[in-house]
Amino acid sequence: MQANDPNYVQIFDTTLRDGEQSPGASMNVEEKIAIARQLEQLNVDVIEAGFAASSEGDFVSVRRVSEAVATPIVLSLARTKEADIERAIRAVERAKRPGIHIFIATSDIHLQHKLMMSRQEVIDAAAWAVGLAGKHLDYIEFSAEDASRSDPEYLVSVFAEVIRAGAVTLNVPDTTGYALPHQTSALFRYLIGATPGGHGVRWSAHCHNDLGMAVANSLAAVEAGARQVECTVNGLGERAGNAAMDEIVMALRTRRDFFGLETGIVTEQIYAASRLVSQITGIPIPINKPIVGENAFAHEAGIHQDGVLKNKITYEIMRPETVGVGSNRLVLGKHSGRHAFVDRLKELGIAAQGIDMNKAFARFKTLADKKKSVYDEDLMAIVAEEAVRVPDRFELTALSVTSSTDVQPSASLRLRIDGVERAAQATGDGIVDACYHAIAAATGTRCKLERYAVKAITSGTDAQGEVSCLVRDGSLTSTGQGAHTDIIVASALAFLNALNKLEYRRRYEDRARVTGP
Ligand code: KIV
Ligand code: ZN
């Protein structure tokens, strides 16, 4: 189905922009590229790659994402300011399908307390900005920030002017997550009907989840005529997050009988995308999250299990395979060769661009030696880690720990730092604490560990533990991930990964500033 078909709902992914505004979810450029490639595999229509004018790092990320993907439209966010618009246009200039997303607030609350502008000044600024962008780009989206708390009649005037100035997509954000579904559908119906030129443009919903209604509001907007939904992988986003892409896409697909609409999303890629974003940001997927949570397809009650065994449709409205959830299948063993490994990745639809297959395969072999059964989830974890690997300044070469009920836990380790071996030893409240102190002693870091989480990738006592952590050094934060069958080693790897990423970021951003465009 074509994007201009009236029954097609365009999916606009803002994981890299609004998603990154989630506390502790900042990503480096390599991570953003890995996610953008996965979004392309999902076949999203639009990727909002960042806010180019907000920092040098964001500018570089938007530019690199623009070069990395071919099929989706790539946008940068911009305020109605000349410098923002120029920067955004520059950042997307190498995209195959470039665009810009211009926004200004329209609620009286924002006009009076934030912008200090009159209603007419906002209309003028919006139309001027869209007109300026239109001299360089065809694809212009305009957003009326805080639309759900704006005067609907005033919104009609704003939208009419930006349509005249050249905007092709009009976004009606529920910025504060305040709207109720029946209000959202009424607002969309009114705006589409009353705005001059409103039938010739695409209307878009952008809902936040402060009251847990982002998905319901997005679907209400679609029911009322919106043909774009802005969403994020795992519902990541500012405060309580944005509408979750997987939930919207699967609601539209599962209830096609009601909506009669299509998206272009390759749903089998949903689970891989969810895992990748969780692994990169270190933000876990709640166990009971719809679609991609661990329990989403688990039937516990005997009566349910009995029904499902007799016929799955008794309690299952979707098949796990449809969203790419594997059945913990034993895929490969230690005798499997490189071909089998690469073929399985292909079957899983995992994008191999940007991954050093030699390294990924070597890691698989090491894992297969330690672990009897290697599952799809293990492969996804290996590939996701390799996809975002930055050059390691700090490498773990040896680790030994002691712990008992009677003595204080201690850790001794050896690191290779810039090619030189260094040893350190430390004690702590627990073994993980001792490890972190030993790493701090060897590297000289003063970073604070702000978040630490461990989870098993698959079931069984030989499962790999996946550790993710968030470290802070002044205003810079970085997440780190480590997977290993020994969770203490996984913890050390996660901490070192976070430190390596911090180093990379400092160096990369410095370089970007010096050689910047
Ligand atoms: O929530 C919001 O209003 C936004 C806009 C910039 C679209 O993120
Ligand atoms: Zn938002």
Cα 336 to Cα 90: distance, rounded to the nearest angstrom:
47
Asked whether 79 lines ligand 1 (CB < 6 A), one says: no
The stretch 412-422 carries a mean pLDDT of 94
Question: Is residue 24 a contact partner of residue 18, using CB atoms and an 8 Å limit?
Answer: no
Residue from 294, 297, 303 nearest 317 by CA: 297
Q: Which ligand is nearest to the CA of 238?
A: 2
pLDDT band (50, 70, 90) for residue 37 = very high
The stretch 353-372 carries a mean pLDDT of 80
Q: Which fold has domain 394-515?
A: Double Stranded RNA Binding Domain (3.30.160)
Instruction: With H, G, I as helix, E, B as strand and everything else as coil, classify residue 127.
Output: helix
Question: Is residue 409 a contact partner of residue 434, using CB atoms and an 8 Å limit?
Answer: yes
Question: Is residue 231 a contact partner of residue 244, using CB atoms and an 8 Å limit?
Answer: yes
Q: Is the model's pLDDT at 399 over the cut of 80?
A: yes
Q: Which ligand is nearest to the CA of 241?
A: 2
pLDDT at residue number 516? 36
Q: Which of 17, 103, 115, 203 to mutate to test ligand 1, by most ligand atoms within 8 A of the CB atom?
A: 103
Q: How far is the CA of 201 from the centre of ligand 2 (A)?
A: 21
User: Which structure tokens are listed for 151?
Assistant: 């005067």
Asked whether 58 lines ligand 1 (CB < 6 A), one says: no
102-106, 377-381, 441-445: least confident range: 377-381
Q: How far is the CA of 23 from the centre of ligand 1 (A)?
A: 16
User: Which structure tokens are listed for 372?
Assistant: 């009897």
pLDDT band (50, 70, 90) for residue 514 = very low
Q: Is the model's pLDDT at 327 over the cut of 60?
A: no
The stretch 5-29 carries a mean pLDDT of 93
Question: Is residue 412 a contact partner of residue 429, using CB atoms and an 8 Å limit?
Answer: no
Closest approach atom of ligand 1 to CA 17 = 8
Instruction: Work out the number of other CB atoms within 10 angstroms of the CB of residue 133.
Output: 28
User: Which structure tokens are listed for 241?
Assistant: 């997050």
The residues near 449 (Cβ < 8 Å, ≥ 6 apart) are 436, 469, 470, 471, 495
Residue 231's DSSP bridge partners are 13
pLDDT band (50, 70, 90) for residue 386 = confident
pLDDT at residue number 366? 84
Q: Is the model's pLDDT at 357 over the cut of 90?
A: no
Cα 402 to Cα 427: distance, rounded to the nearest angstrom:
9
Q: Is the model's pLDDT at 380 over the cut of 70?
A: yes
Question: Is residue 354 a contact partner of residue 386, using CB atoms and an 8 Å limit?
Answer: no
Q: Which ligand is nearest to the CA of 79?
A: 1
Q: Is the model's pLDDT at 433 over the cut of 50?
A: yes
Q: Is the model's pLDDT at 513 over the cut of 50?
A: no
The residues near 124 (Cβ < 8 Å, ≥ 6 apart) are none
- Which residue's CA is minimally distant from atom 2 of ligand 1? 175
User: Which structure tokens are listed for 300?
Assistant: 């516990």
pLDDT: which is higher, 62 or 371:
62
Instruction: Look up the pTM and report it.
Output: 0.85
Residue 50's DSSP bridge partners are 76
pLDDT band (50, 70, 90) for residue 351 = low
3.90.330.10, 3.40.50.300, 3.20.20.70, 3.40.50.720: which CATH number matches 10-281?
Answer: 3.20.20.70
Instruction: With H, G, I as helix, E, B as strand and everything else as coil, classify residue 474.
Output: coil
Asked whether 20 lines ligand 1 (CB < 6 A), one says: no
Q: Is the model's pLDDT at 58 over the cut of 60?
A: yes
pLDDT band (50, 70, 90) for residue 165 = very high
The stretch 318-328 carries a mean pLDDT of 81
Q: How far is the CA of 317 from the centre of ligand 1 (A)?
A: 33
- Ranges of beta strands (E only) in 106-191 are 140-145, 169-174
pLDDT band (50, 70, 90) for residue 300 = low
pLDDT: which is higher, 371 or 188:
188
Q: Which ligand is nearest to the CA of 103?
A: 1
Asked whether 143 lines ligand 1 (CB < 6 A), one says: yes
Please report which residue ranges of 176-213 form alpha helices under DSSP H. Answer: 181-194
Q: How far is the CA of 175 from the centre of ligand 1 (A)?
A: 6
Angle, CA of 84, 88 and 94, to the nearest 5° = 160
Contacts 24+ apart (CB under 8 A), 450-453: 450/24, 450/477, 451/24, 451/282, 452/491, 452/494, 453/282, 453/284
Please report which residue ranges of 284-375 form alpha helices under DSSP H. Answer: 302-310, 338-347, 357-370
Closest approach atom of ligand 1 to CA 147 = 3
Q: Is the model's pLDDT at 130 over the cut of 90?
A: yes
Residue 300 Rama label (left phi>0; alpha psi -120 to 50; beta): alpha
Residue 12's DSSP bridge partners are 46, 230
Q: How far is the CA of 202 from the centre of ligand 2 (A)?
A: 18
User: Which structure tokens are listed for 103?
Assistant: 């926004």
Domain boundaries, the chain: 10-281, 326-387, 394-515
Residues with CB under 5 A from ligand 2 (ion): 18
Q: How far is the CA of 498 from the centre of ligand 1 (A)?
A: 29
Would the CATH topology of 10-281 be identical to that of 394-515?
no
- Which residue's CA is minimally distant from atom 5 of ligand 1? 145
Question: Is residue 324 a contact partner of residue 271, using CB atoms and an 8 Å limit?
Answer: yes
* DSSP secondary structure letter of residue 320: G
Q: Which ligand is nearest to the CA of 146?
A: 1
Q: How far is the CA of 333 from the centre of ligand 2 (A)?
A: 44
Residue 235 Rama label (left phi>0; alpha psi -120 to 50; beta): left
Q: Which ligand is nearest to the CA of 145?
A: 1
Most confident range (mean pLDDT) of 161-175, 455-469, 475-489 is 161-175
Q: Which of 162, 175, 228 to mutate to test ligand 1, by most ligand atoms within 8 A of the CB atom?
A: 175
Q: Which of 206, 209, 210 to mutate to test ligand 1, by most ligand atoms within 8 A of the CB atom?
A: 206
Q: Which of 143, 210, 218 to mutate to test ligand 1, by most ligand atoms within 8 A of the CB atom?
A: 143
- Which residue's CA is minimally distant from atom 1 of ligand 1? 175
Question: Is residue 240 a contact partner of residue 286, using CB atoms and an 8 Å limit?
Answer: no
User: Which structure tokens are listed for 185?
Assistant: 């559908």
pLDDT at residue number 299? 67
Asked whether 103 lines ligand 1 (CB < 6 A), one says: yes
User: Which structure tokens are listed for 400?
Assistant: 């030994």
23-32, 61-70, 154-163, 409-418: least confident range: 23-32
Instruction: With H, G, I as helix, E, B as strand and everything else as coil, classify residue 198.
Output: helix
57-66, 178-187, 445-454: least confident range: 445-454
Q: Is the model's pLDDT at 330 over the cut of 60?
A: no
Question: Is residue 492 a contact partner of residue 486, using CB atoms and an 8 Å limit?
Answer: no
